[in-house]
Amino acid sequence: MNTTITIAFVSTPMIELILNPPLFLIHALLGGLLIAFIAAPLGVFMVWQRQSYFGAALAHSALLGLGLGLFLSINLSLSVILVSLGIAVGIHLLKAHSKLSSDTLLGILAHSSLALGLILLSLQPQAQLNLMAFLFGDILSIDQPDLIFISFLAVAVAVFFKRHWQDLLNTTLNAELAQIEGIQTQKVQLYYVLLLALMIAMAMKMVGALLITSLLIIPAATARKYAQSPEQMLGYSLIFGGLSVIFGVVASLFWDIPTGASIVAVATLFFLGSLLRRP
């Protein structure tokens, strides 16, 4: 009897929170689901093109954006977005015109941008900046303007992949053959990396610079174990990404743990479960 009373006492506030969620929780769930929607198509191509380190390089460049924003006294979100876009274009151009391998270029840009960002941040001793929030995110701080921006980005991603899904797929499978067929492979790939940079810069507030790459890769890698076609992989990635957000937010509230890390942990559990599936 005592056990039953204790369980009821503990679970009642959580039930009330789920049945009558506050506005911040609604914003967090909507923002997280939109991020999952955006990350799914970007993530599957990141897995197919073996560009997981590309996402890490862009995530590291976000810290350079923070440093420049503080150093120049401009809006931090704008600074992060501009630097991320600049790094994405730089990576794209260097890959097309440099003889160095992709992983070498990404390693140079990732670590140099991270080092420069840390140097600029160290020159701001009076700056009141919560680095933990940028590194690990705070999805519960999402507000209505954030949702509007995320929605516009989601629409842009949907339009891009509706028009260029097959073009990007052909480019991923065989870029030279795609060029022969008349596909502007460099242009399509550039649009893809710009959308990827925007997504990473924007998602820093939610899951942080250090975890956003995981949110891009893990649902897509999980989906790969179940899918038998590119379209199925996209669908499963959407499902696993959305479920990771929902269960991650609930787990964060229930156990009082970091929300961004909780979302990635749930996504990791889905991936580990997929490893048990026989091919």
The sign one gets for the Cα dihedral 10, 11, 14, 15 is negative
CATH number for the domain whose boundaries are 28-124+132-274 = 1.10.3470.10
What's the token pair of residue 81? 């977005």
Query: Residue 208: which of 113, 269, 277, 130 has the closest Cα?
Result: 130
Instruction: Look up tokens 């003889």; give the residue.
Output: 99
Cβ atoms of 143 and 206 within 8 Å: the answer is: no
CA distance 5 to 134: 41
For residue 3, what pLDDT is reported?
47
Q: What are the residue ranges spanned by the domains of the chain?
A: 28-124+132-274
For residue 238, what pLDDT is reported?
92
Q: How many CB atoms lie within 10 A of CB 27?
A: 19
What's the token pair of residue 227? 């899918």
User: 206 vs 170, which has greater pLDDT?
Assistant: 170
For residue 126, what pLDDT is reported?
58
List pLDDT tens digits, range 83-96: 888 888 887 777 76
User: 143 vs 55, which has greater pLDDT?
Assistant: 143
For residue 240, what pLDDT is reported?
93
Local structure of 249: helix, strand or coil: helix
For residue 272, what pLDDT is reported?
92
Cβ atoms of 241 and 190 within 8 Å: the answer is: no
DSSP code, position 141: G
User: 268 vs 25, which has greater pLDDT?
Assistant: 268
Q: How many CB atoms lie within 10 A of CB 29?
A: 18
CA distance 172 to 181: 14
Which residues lie closer than 8 Å to 118 by C-beta, 6 or more apart?
63, 67
Q: How many CB atoms lie within 10 A of CB 229?
A: 8
* pLDDT confidence band for 270 (50 / 70 / 90): very high
pLDDT tops 80 at residue 130: no
For residue 11, what pLDDT is reported?
52
Mean pLDDT computed over every residue of the chain: 79
List pLDDT tens digits, range 47-70: 887 777 777 777 777 778 878 887
List pLDDT tens digits, range 6-38: 444 445 665 666 666 677 788 888 888 888 888
Residue range 131-135: mean pLDDT, rounded: 65
